[in-house]
Amino acid sequence: MFEKVRVTTGIPYLDALTQGGFIKGSTNLVIGPAGAGKTICGLHFLLEGAKKNENGLLVAMQEPPWAIRRDASNFTFFDHNYFVEPEKVVMLDFTPSGWELWDPDSLSYAEGSEMILEAEGVPYDETSLPTFLHKVFYHISEVIEEKKIERVVIDPLAAFRFYDYGNDYGFLRKLTTGFLTNIASLNVTTVAISELASSSEQSLFGEEYIADSIFHLDMLSVRGELVRILRISKMRGTNHSTKTLRYKITNNGITFIEPEDE
Ligand SMILES: Nc1ncnc2c1ncn2[C@@H]1O[C@H](COP(=O)(O)OP(=O)(O)OP(=O)(O)O)[C@@H](O)[C@H]1O
Ligand SMILES: [Mg+2]
């Protein structure tokens, strides 16, 4: 029948609240404002995979891989050895300065990419979102197959805004749906990072409807102190916690504060 295999999140407390973590093959959103800990969440997920021999892929779209590794160096769960050949975590640089976009030789897709896109009925245009997403998808699907990737993090979807989509929201949503669904069809479990100024705001591309689960991270100011909170607003097929959970970020990464600890 339809057996649900769980993929651990890398944060044991979250696994306990979600019947064991993400559903294998699902697309999961981590949404929150700048500095909420979204990238750190993604790293927990990937490093957990590396420890379990489940290879991971980080698709960097805004903060370049070298900066992500630099910033994560302090974390006790982080190990740079997983990022060197033969990598357990592969990082691809699709940031505006990234080598996958600037160096045509690094991108197998660059060779004949116009032809591939035209065959798929997409006009080739370096500045357009369809061209960008086709390039990214083609490249990551090759890496997923070659490196036997099981876990994917896309950080963040907001970078789609760097490219032209004709200011047509419906088209943007269609492209985002196609992109995320095609990645899911490669039999990987995905964490897609999404940006929101506050949890009451609507997402940029309707990604909350595409995703199988949503983890909202938020920050409040309480008596002059930054308080971090997480809530799971959706998790298809899962009896998940509906509580607002408090967490902190320390050298151990994200840790939750149980009510009795307060
Ligand atoms: N060692 C540490 N101890 C305590 N807090 C830390 C530590 N390292 C990072 N942080 C906190 O984590 C935040 C950065 O987390 P992260 O990079 O995951 O945010 P983000 O949600 O991805 O933000 P952005 O949207 O800007 O990329 C820092 O602003 C800081 O508050
Ligand atoms: Mg980030």
For 16-74, the pLDDT digits (tens) are 999 999 999 999 999 999 999 999 999 999 999 999 999 999 999 999 999 999 999 99
What's the gap in Å between 34 CA and the centre of ligand 2?
7
The residue whose CA is least distant from atom 13 of ligand 1 is 35
Q: How many CA atoms lie within 13 A of 6 on its CB side?
A: 16
Residue holding tokens 């591939």?
116
Neighbours of 231 (CB within 10 A): 16
Tell me the mean pLDDT in the region 90-117. Answer: 69
Ligand 1 binding site (Cβ under 6 Å of any ligand atom): 32, 34-40, 63, 74, 195, 249-251
Residues 144/188, Cβ–Cβ less than 8 Å: yes
- The pairing of strands 149-155 and 189-195 is parallel
Query: Ligand 1: which of 39, 76, 157, 201 to mutate, most ligand atoms within 8 Å of CB?
Result: 39
C-alpha closest to that of 173 among 203, 214, 140:
203
Ligand 1 atom index nearest CA of 251 = 1
Phi, psi (5° rounding) for residue 86?
-80, 110
DSSP state of 201: S
Residues in the chain, overall count = 262
Query: Ligand 1: which of 31, 38, 216 to mutate, most ligand atoms within 8 Å of CB?
Result: 38
> Which of the four pLDDT bands, split at 50, 70 and 90, describes residue 1?
low
Q: What global pTM score does this model have? A: 0.93
Query: Ligand 1: which of 153, 215, 249, 254 to mutate, most ligand atoms within 8 Å of CB?
Result: 249
| Alpha helices per DSSP H over the chain | 12-17, 38-51, 65-72, 99-102, 113-119, 129-146, 169-184, 207-210
Q: What crossing angle do the helices spanning 169-184 and 129-146 adopt, rounded to 10°?
A: 10
| Alpha helices per DSSP H over 73-220 | 99-102, 113-119, 129-146, 169-184, 207-210
Ligand nearest to the CA of 34: 1
Residues 240 and 195: their CA atoms lie apart, in Å, by: 23
What's the gap in Å between 259 CA and the centre of ligand 2?
27
The residue whose CA is least distant from atom 23 of ligand 1 is 35
For 210-233, the pLDDT digits (tens) are 999 999 999 999 999 999 999 999
Its CATH class, for the domain covering 6-254, is alpha beta
